[in-house]
Each structure stands twice: as structure tokens, then as C-alpha cells.
Amino acid sequence: MDMKKYAAELIGTFWLTFAGCGSAVIAAGFPQVGIGLVGVSLAFGLSVVTMAYAIGHISGCHLNPAVTVGLAAGGRFPTGQILPYIIAQVVGAIVAAAVLYVIASGAPGFDVSKGFASNGYDAHSPGQYSMVVCFITEVVMTMMFLFIIMGSTHGKAPAGFAPLAIGLALVMIHLVSIPVTNTSVNPARSTGPALFVGGWATAQLWLFWVAPLIGGALGGALYRWLSDEPTGVVAGVKTA
């Protein structure tokens, strides 16, 4: 049964990375009808909404190592399942980046060195933001993302609306932080494109693992402290 959860996480993270990063690489700047920052933000949020309804009952639809770690910190996920979930998520993101590379490279003038939706700081931040500012941004954004995930999946929250709250939260996060880091809040999503860009993208990848994992753990722990009883359904198991 666990293998089905891992497969669901792989497929779900594939979709998030392919749809979100694909919108940035293929559609964001397309002449005359480019979707821009708002469109990319919506693509990431919608990828989570659609997968939450599709696989939430199978794996809990984490799609993100920071979410898995954050839910564990919040008492909603068994620590023994963290590593296999993260492995499945990273594999899904890498496969997504590979498929996206094949599609995007079919266009004349495609140049993977231009970024390929990778995350970066300093000279590789879209707005040239410093490493420290980018680190703080990723910590805070991921912390609030986990806080919203914990709250919307609480046993006392309105039933059936968690995917919408979580997806809309991810849209808001992208609307704010794309100019800063190109928005990660997800180490798996960052890893896939970075491996194809290489060089600076892989050299700076550490920040997009460390900061989201810290933020996720803080968000999960904060909500666990705030909530009277951290009940909810995560990975198909009711927790108390």
C-alpha cells in the first residue's frame, strides 16, 4: 500500500513541476499572449488544487519535501515515512523537468542557460535580491504555506475546501516572491530544473532546500502549538 502512496507523490510532484515550471518556460513570455507572473502563479496553485482532489485520499498530496517535513513537525505525519516521500517527490520533479526540456527544446532559439524556471539569488534572482533576503523570503513563505495547510486540513476546518485554500495560498506566495527567488518553497520543484541548467543553478540549490525545510518545520510546529487539538487527515490517516 505504501508503494501506491509513493507513486501518487511522484505523479503529483511531476504535475506540479511540469505545469508550474512549464507555464514559466513555455507560456509566460510568449509573444502577445504571454501569461506573465499572474499566469505562472495560477498555474502552480492550480496544479496543487487539481492533484489534491486527485490523490489527496491516497498520499495526502504533499508534492513537496518541505510539506512532508512540516507535517511531521506538526504531528500530522510519521517521521519514518519522510525519506521515501521525499525521494518520490524529487524523482517526480526530475522526470517533469526532463519532459519539459524535451518539449521546450523544440522551439527555435531555446537556451536552457537562460534559467529554465530555476530558482536563484543575487545575480540570478529575477529582481537581483541578495542571498540573505532570498533566504528569509523562502523561510517565511514556506512557514505560512505550512500554517495554512495545517489549518485547512484540521479536523474542525470546513470539509472539502482544503485543496482550494492550499492552492490559493500557493498562488499568493508566487505573486509575492517570483521577483525575489522565482519562488521555490519546494526543494523538489527547485531540484528538477536546476539539474538541467547546471552551473549556478546547482551551486545555489542549497538555499532552496535549507530555507523551505526550515520554514516548513516552523510552520508545522507553530500551528501545532496554536491549535487546541492537531487533528486532521494526512496521507489517508486520521491523526489525533
Q: Is the dihedral of CA 108, 112, 114, 117 positive or negative?
A: positive
Q: State how far the Cα of 52 lies from the Cα of 8, in Å rounded to an integer.
A: 11
User: In this structure, are residues 14 and 38 in contact, taking their beta carbons and an 8 Å threshold?
Assistant: no
pLDDT confidence bin for 236, thresholds 50/70/90: very low
- In this prediction, residue 71 carries a pLDDT of 97
What are the structural domain ranges in the chain?
2-106+114-232
Helix segments in 77-204, DSSP class H: 82-104, 131-152, 162-181, 187-197, 200-203
* Tally of CB atoms within 10 A around 20: 26
* Tally of CB atoms within 10 A around 1: 6
Q: What is the pLDDT of residues 156-213, one digit of tens each?
A: 888 889 999 999 999 999 999 999 999 999 999 999 999 999 999 999 999 999 999 9
Q: State how far the Cα of 7 lies from the Cα of 12, in Å rounded to an integer.
A: 8
- In this prediction, residue 1 carries a pLDDT of 63
Residues in the chain: 240
Q: State how far the Cα of 175 lies from the Cα of 1, in Å rounded to an integer.
A: 37
Assign domain 2-106+114-232 to a CATH class: mainly alpha
**What percent of the residues of the chain are helix, what percent strand, and what percent coil, each to the nearest 5?**
70, 5, 25
